[in-house]
Amino acid sequence: MVIADDTGREYMLLRTASGWENRETRRSEWGSRTRWHLWRDGEKKPQIVTRELDYDPRRRPWYQGTLRAQVSLVRGAPGADAPRIHWTKPYTFFTTGAPGMTVALPFGNAKKRQRIIAFDISLEDISRFTSNLQVSGGGGVAVFTSNDRVIGVPKHPRFTSAQAQREALLKRSVEFGWVLSAQAHDALASRNAANRAVRFANEGEVYWGQRRRFSLGPERFLWIVVLVPEAGILGTLVQLRTWAISIVVVVLLIALVRVLLLSNRYSNPIEALARDTARISQGDLEGGAGINSNVTEIQDLAEAHERMRQRLRSLVRIEDDLKVARRIQQSALPDRIPYVAGFDIDAFSDSADETGGDTYDVIGYRVDRQGRTIALSVDNADRALLLLADATGHGVGPALSATQIRAMLRMAVRCGTSLEHIVQNVNQQLCDDLFGGRFITAWLAIVDAQTGALTSFSAGQAPMLHIHAEGKHIETLDADAPPFGIMRDLAVPLEPARVMKPGDVFAVLSDGILETTNANGERFGLERALDVILRHQEDTAGLMVTRLRQAIAQFTPGMRPVDDRTAVIVKREPA
């Protein structure tokens, strides 16, 4: 065996009659000098010697032929990117001087360095193998190259010695001393001989022969020829038939016994697994079948089946917990919108999962003459605090964050805190509680029944729409500050209160509405939302909310939302 690269570096390993030899060549570094490690049988340490050799592995037939084989690969053909195995023609080995063939293959990254591994196959070894093949009837097996040169001699009295085998190598089939006459060679070389045996006579004896092609790759192939005397075939037919019948009967009996044993070994646990699967499909996830089998595959299947059952139970528990969480979140939303004289308020929130990161609230409360909170009120509130919040993501975590901000607002209203202080306290608390880059966009507003004013503050929630009744003028408002939970010292630039005139509409929509996408990749967008609100501006806030939800459903028929959708609409009632 040899390994060589394109720098002339080579390692050779050779088995000799007395031990092993390892030759190391570094042509680019040592020139013609080579280093040998000689292991003799029975010795623990090798003998290291240096020899001068006019030898370059890159000039050897196996190296150059392997490079040519890779260059000849057809681009685009199946397997063209895979390295091609190269077989040399028979030639004389440099080291041993014996005839043989070499099989070689490139490996590694050819862009950096071309490396080739090769194995020498001695023709004498092939002949020793073929000459020991026993063919019934006194026949033999020989191997020829594609150009009809023998490289493996058959079992024959003429080739009993190594010297006789060596002298026959690489001779033409009709010359090397077997029973292949010119007529026999022509018969075997015919097209019919590739598929069936050919009968021929030689020196008064009748033979049957067949030639089979043995491919060594796209470049090289061999012919394997089998010859059997006809007398030898007829003499063994009866014996072969008896042996064949006996073997078939014994095999059938063994197979029958094995089938009976295996049917119980395999079918019983599989039937138990099938019954357990049917029980699971009906919703019964309790207690597995407890299958034990000495068949590894069936036992693995049973263990996987049990793991599936346990995970299904966990999923069912999680699903039940999510349903409870959804009921809790939905129950936290106001079941009645407080009545504030002069205002018509409505809202909705649809979550993408069982629980959502969006929420809204309308907190009505009564105040005394000094503007201090007396009590929360639903039926006849003097003021109302409005909220639309959108926590990053959707699911259980964002739902907890959204519920948290709603709880903080209700506590702040009960304490009579101003909107500015509410914003500052909520932001600082969320900075302490949120982690991992999470934040909450929120819009807060206070509507006053006495003045008809709306005072609002937006932390990252935009756009906000003020649709004026006079002239259908639309005012689009940006956020006042970054989202909650990002900056602890958040500036709170409260805009002057907006006095809403009769018929004015103030709408706040979460990004889940505006970014809703249909099957064609189109977004619902701000223009479609505005169109719905403008067409129903004369109607109630509740009808605007209903029509907006219907428009989104028609825009995405049969599609589940990928983000939470929430909207709050405030309308100043006509005088």
* 542 and 461 part of one domain: yes
Tokens for 553? 């459903």
* 57 and 194 part of one domain: no
* 424 and 460 part of one domain: yes
Which of 69, 92, 123 is where one domain is finished? 123
Q: Looking at the domain assignment, is residue 290 inside a domain?
A: no
How far are the Cα atoms of 53, 94, 115, 361 from residue 366, in angstroms, in the given order?
108, 108, 88, 17
Which of 71, 90, 123 is where one domain is finished? 123
How far is residue 411's CA from residue 405's CA, in Å, rounded to a whole number? 10
How far are the Cα atoms of 62, 103, 119, 502 from residue 116, in angstroms, in the given order?
9, 10, 10, 89
Q: Looking at the domain assignment, is residue 310 inside a domain?
A: no
How many residues are given for the chain? Answer: 575
Residue 145 CB contacts under 8 Å (≥ 6 apart), including other chains: 89, 90, 151, 222, 223
Task: Tell me how many degrees the CA angle 220-223-228 measures, rounded to the nearest 5.
Answer: 170
* 532 and 414 part of one domain: yes
Q: Looking at the domain assignment, is residue 181 inside a domain?
A: yes
Q: Looking at the domain assignment, is residue 320 inside a domain?
A: no
Percent of the chain with pLDDT over 70: 88
What's residue 236's pLDDT?
A: 60
Residue 283 CB contacts under 8 Å (≥ 6 apart), including other chains: none
Q: Is 447 helix (H, G, I), strand (E, B) or coil?
A: strand
Residue 229, domain extent: 125-234
Which of 190, 208, 234 is where one domain is finished? 234
How far is residue 105's CA from residue 119's CA, in Å, rounded to a whole number? 9
pLDDT in tens, 61-88: 999 998 888 876 545 555 556 678 899 9
Q: Looking at the domain assignment, is residue 431 inside a domain?
A: yes
Return the DSSP state at 369: T
Q: Looking at the domain assignment, is residue 308 inside a domain?
A: no
Q: Is the pLDDT of residue 263 over 80?
A: no
In Å, how far from its chain's centre is CA 571? 53
Q: How many domains does the chain have?
A: 3
Q: Looking at the domain assignment, is residue 225 inside a domain?
A: yes
**Is residue 243 left, alpha or beta, with left meaning phi > 0 and alpha meaning psi from -120 to 50?**
alpha
pLDDT in tens, 468-510: 998 778 999 999 999 998 888 888 878 889 999 999 999 999 9
- What pTM value is reported for the model? 0.47
Where is 312: in which H helix or E strand? helix 296-332
pLDDT in tens, 14-30: 998 889 999 999 999 99
* 344 and 458 part of one domain: yes
* 342 and 423 part of one domain: yes
Mean pLDDT to the nearest integer, 547-563: 91
* 164 and 116 part of one domain: no
What's residue 202's pLDDT?
A: 76
Q: Is the pLDDT of residue 351 over 60?
A: yes
* 405 and 443 part of one domain: yes
* 135 and 114 part of one domain: no
Residue 383 CB contacts under 8 Å (≥ 6 apart), including other chains: 340, 364, 365, 366, 367, 446, 447, 448, 449
